[in-house]
Amino acid sequence: MVKLIEELGELANGINKDKKEQIIDSIGDTYVVLTILSMQFNLNIEDCITEAYNEIKDRKGKMVNGIFVKESDL
């Protein structure tokens, strides 16, 4: 988990400094860390992504200050 937090910190840093290459690298690194984490729990990363997407794909809501807010939370 520490590695995941480290990579997310690097991603946030890249976003804050608008460094596209750092953002690309950090997203890739984060994906690798999540893939390894999923394997440690005998899960498939693609299945995890599909399940998460299926849970949110039909949500209704709107953007508020750059953040998506679910209709049920408005």
Annotate 4-42 with b (16+ C-beta within 10 A) or e (fewer).
Answer: eeebeebbeebeeeeeeebbeebeebbeebeeeebeeee
Instruction: Based on DSSP, count helices (H) and strands (E) in the chain, helices before strands.
Output: 3, 2
3-state helix, strand, coil in the chain (%, to 5): 70, 10, 20
Give the pLDDT confidence of 9-50 residue by residue, as tens digits: 999 999 999 999 999 999 999 999 999 999 999 999 999 999
**pLDDT reported for residue 43:** 99
Q: Is-above-0.85 flag for pTM?
A: no
Question: Residue 38: its pLDDT value, please?
Answer: 98
pLDDT at 1: 85
